Copies of this chain bind each other. A is one copy, B any other.
């Protein structure tokens, strides 16, 4: 930040995708390569930051058990850098406009008169299931899907309470720590305890892990043996989960479609 220029800065609100740097978009990779400053969230992998060799890198996410940086501070950092003529990349997991507070950052930039763009990313809501062999829609099984956040009951109750059970696929982002609450909630709303579910952790990374079972099994209060409740996890609830089991009968390389049963 020692050489402020007169050229106007520019901010890119960039989706990082689910984790694998190969699932960045071509545009996102280019913005990283050109960036002067990258402000990144938790769950953004170090190898992704390697794509921004020119840039200062600044972590603004939430670390386990610590408070996140205030959203207003993030706005201030972005705006200050842009005013100094920097090319700023605000790198967010998944898509910046899906539970990313990207809308708030866009509004803050607009109000400050800072030029910006949105670079959509691959959302974990779709990609995490896909990489486990689960299509969120599938002929005869689901003709739509709903995406909610699992971080508090307030965040999903209003939406899930009125759904016709089994009428669509339910995807819960940030749902790992609250999986038993979400499952109990759905059973109470009339979903069959035998509804197939999958829990997807660290999708698209080498640590990727899939657990599958039923809604009743998911409702059992989890034992988080040394596990970080902040770990990224996506829940998928609905008949589409059975597609993965059918696929798993075949051995598949690479982005392997493999559903394993695992107890937490």
Contact = CB atoms under 8 A, between A and B. Distances in A.
Interface of A: 10, 15, 17-18, 20-27, 29-30, 95-104, 106-107, 109-111, 113, 115-123, 125-127, 129-131, 133-139, 143-149, 154-156, 158-159, 161-164, 167-168, 204, 240, 243, 246-247, 249-257
Contacts of A243: 103, 106-107
A106 B135 CA distance: 10
Contacts of A247: 106-107, 110
A23 B25 contact: yes
Contacts of A254: 117
A5 to B, nearest CB: 18
Contacts of A96: 130
A154 B140 CA distance: 12
A98 B126 contact: yes
Nearest to A117: B255
A35 to B, nearest CB: 15
A110 B164 contact: no
Nearest to A15: B122
A32 to B, nearest CB: 11
A144 B144 contact: no
Given A26-B21, A144-B159, A121 B120 contact: no
